[in-house]
Chain A
Amino acid sequence: MKVKLINISINSGISDSLINKVSIGNKIAFDELYEKTKKIVFGIALSITKSPSDADDITQEVYIKILEKSESYINNGKPLAWIYAIARNQSISLIRKDKKTDEVDRLEDDIRFSSIDNEIDKLILKSALEILSGLELQIVMLHNSGLKHKEIANMLDIPLSTILSKYNRSLIKMRKFLENK
């Protein structure tokens, strides 16, 4: 039996209704969605492309896609998982299209990366991109983009315990790596 579902997602204020408002052309809702999720989308794209400039381009494309596809969004209480899927697909398709590798070597040529003025910040980001595996990097980027571990678990559909252990292991890896630098 069809019963009204009140879907309030557990993430930072992104609900089904916000996507629904975007789908009917509500500009305020779209701005709100952009403000609340831009860092998360950037984090996803960066963890896949490992290039801050590409991640920035992808972030812009993701919001165009959101605009186009918001009408087909199915209210299931997981709007972030939907945004994650769009960001992931856009990132993978950019890598395929430009036949780019995800090697970190070209990081030094990246304009956005070069614009980081603090050398330690540069070193920390580079170490994350260089030594963390795909899932580890995504978890680290998503958590530091503002998502809680529980929200990441919900979004990636992975047990919370796995997220926590991978996150802690990643930080230990990074610390060891940085200390040997």
Chain B
Amino acid sequence: MRSFSNRQIERSLQKTIYNMTSTKMSPNITNNYKEEYKMKKNKLFLPFLVPALAVFIAVFGLGTNYYDKNLKVNSNITLDVNPSIVLSTNYYNKVIKVKALNDDGEEILRDINVNNLTPEEATNVIIDELIKENYLTGDGANILLTVENNDLVKAKEIEANLLESVNSKLDEEYIAGTVITQVDTIRKNIDEDIKSLMDTYNISYSKAIFISNIIKKDDTLKVEDLAQLNISEISKLLNDNNINISDIVGHNNEDSMYESAVLTQAKKGLTVAEQVKTQAENKAQAATEELQNQMSNNKNTEAAEKAYQEAEQARLKAEQEAIAAQKAYEEAAAEVNKGDTTQNTETNQNSNGETSGTSSSGNQGNTSGTGSTNSTSGTTSSTNGNGSSNRNQ
């Protein structure tokens, strides 16, 4: 009688499968490949043919409407973290053009394609990439979003949708951060000072406007210093110098940053505690069933009883921890809501003096509001928590 080990059987099967599998593709596949490839190659021309045809129609006046609604830039949305990226959208609010404004932006855009997505979808994709490349971390991040559209009502609408979408994305990823937004009309002629700022420091229009507004509020700060900083670092600098972001972007949200970060952490803790609790409950249930089974079969139940007691103790401990996590979460939420009430009052007082039509709302750590500093521009900021992105320009 011959004896076999598992390893011997496995090695034999591996060798047999390896030897029996054809090492080369049959000519049948290769021929098929050539035919399929020819077909696919022809299909590859289609994406080039369609825009070419669209341009032809537009040029000859037959498709003016098509051009206006599909190919003409309707809004520009600039996203600044340190990587700066501009998304241009058409009438249907779909991204038709993406441009990086600096090297970091180019790095982010290298592996993603956001064409034909809505601004919310596109910013989510970009945020995913920013997280992947460590520009946004759990500790926190500040994002400056600027929406430009000649129809300010539409600009505000896009701004509000983006703010909500970016906030929930940051929440989803457990990233505490501040989202600062601005709206403006699409610029035809850029102010000379702003243009010079953009050219000298190779920064986006929106960051140039942001910095320009900061300098107007505090002339001790230097443009050249601010231009080198990313949005998070600028926010931190404003905080260190006791300058309210509200003076620049509509209302102050710095006070609630810490509370929001605590809330985000508490929410994460609660989720984990609930998962542990569910696992412990399942184990306790299984142990109970096993004990019942042993008892009904008149077997020795000593081991099953011990397992049951251990599982029950673990379940009780997990339950207590979940209650504590729930309490911590509720306390953090209450703290943030308290902060929001105070902040909303301050915002409105500020607004009475300096802006028109300001409003803000907050929920569990997120505060948001809209405001306009003049007839063509407005700013909003929203907080998920405090923190900073970890790369410099």
Contact = CB atoms under 8 A, between A and B. Distances in A.
Interface stretch (B34-42, B69-77, B300-308): B34-42
A38 B9 CA distance: 21
Contacts of A118: 12
A56 B17 CA distance: 11
A2 B20 contact: no
Given A25-B44, A39-B17, A178 B4 contact: yes
B22 A121 contact: no
A52 B2 contact: no
A56 B22 contact: yes
B173 to A, nearest CB: 11
Contacts of A71: 40
A86 interface: no
Interface stretch (B95-103, B116-124, B368-376): B116-124
Given A171-B6, A178-B2, A179-B2, A125 B16 contact: yes
B363 interface: no
What DSSP secondary structure best describes chain B's contact surface? helix
A52 B20 contact: yes
Contacts, number: 112
B382 to A, nearest CB: 18
Interface string B54-97: 00000000000000000000000000000000000000000000
A70 to B, nearest CB: 9
B366 to A, nearest CB: 17
Nearest to B124: A3
B125 A3 contact: yes
Contacts of A1: 120-121, 124, 165
A179 B124 CA distance: 60
Contacts of B26: 60
B239 interface: no
Interface in A121-173: 121, 124-125, 128, 140-141, 143-145, 171
A92 interface: no
A82 interface: no
Given A2-B121, A178-B2, A25 B17 contact: no
Contacts of A175: 3-6, 9
A24 interface: yes
A4 B113 CA distance: 9
Given A27-B37, A63-B29, A144 B22 contact: no
A116 B124 contact: no
A30 interface: yes
Contact of A4 (B13, B40, B124, B165): B124
Contact of A124 (B12, B21, B128): B12
Contacts of B120: 1
A59 B21 contact: yes
Contacts of A43: 17
B129 to A, nearest CB: 8
A174 interface: yes
Contacts of A171: 6, 9-10
B24 to A, nearest CB: 9
Interface string A28-54: 001100100011001100100000100
A124 B6 contact: no
B19 interface: yes
Nearest to A64: B32
B348 to A, nearest CB: 32
Contacts of A174: 4, 9
B302 to A, nearest CB: 26
Given A1-B120, A27-B33, A180-B1, A144 B14 contact: yes
Interface string A93-134: 000000000000000000010011010110011001000000
Given A125-B13, A178-B2, A179-B3, A116 B20 contact: yes
Given A64-B28, A140-B13, A145-B17, A6 B165 contact: no
A3 B121 contact: yes
B112 interface: yes
A144 B13 contact: yes
B108 to A, nearest CB: 12
A178 B33 CA distance: 43
Nearest to A30: B33
B50 interface: no
B28 A60 contact: yes
Interface of A: 1-4, 6, 23-25, 27, 30-31, 34, 38-39, 42-43, 46, 52, 55-56, 59-60, 63-64, 67-68, 71, 112, 115-116, 118, 120-121, 124-125, 128, 140-141, 143-145, 171, 174-175, 178-181
Given A4-B112, A59-B22, A178-B9, 17 more contacts: A1-B165, A3-B125, A27-B37, A56-B21, A56-B22, A60-B29, A64-B28, A67-B32, A112-B20, A121-B12, A125-B12, A141-B17, A145-B14, A174-B4, A175-B4, A175-B5, A179-B1
Ordered nearest first, which 10 A-B pairs have the shortest CB separation? A25-B40, A144-B13, A4-B125, A124-B12, A25-B37, A42-B21, A60-B26, A171-B6, A144-B14, A121-B12
28 contacts: A1-B121, A1-B165, A2-B121, A3-B124, A6-B132, A27-B37, A39-B17, A39-B21, A42-B21, A56-B20, A56-B22, A59-B21, A60-B28, A63-B25, A63-B29, A64-B28, A64-B32, A67-B36, A116-B16, A121-B12, A124-B4, A124-B9, A125-B16, A143-B10, A145-B14, A145-B17, A178-B2, A179-B1
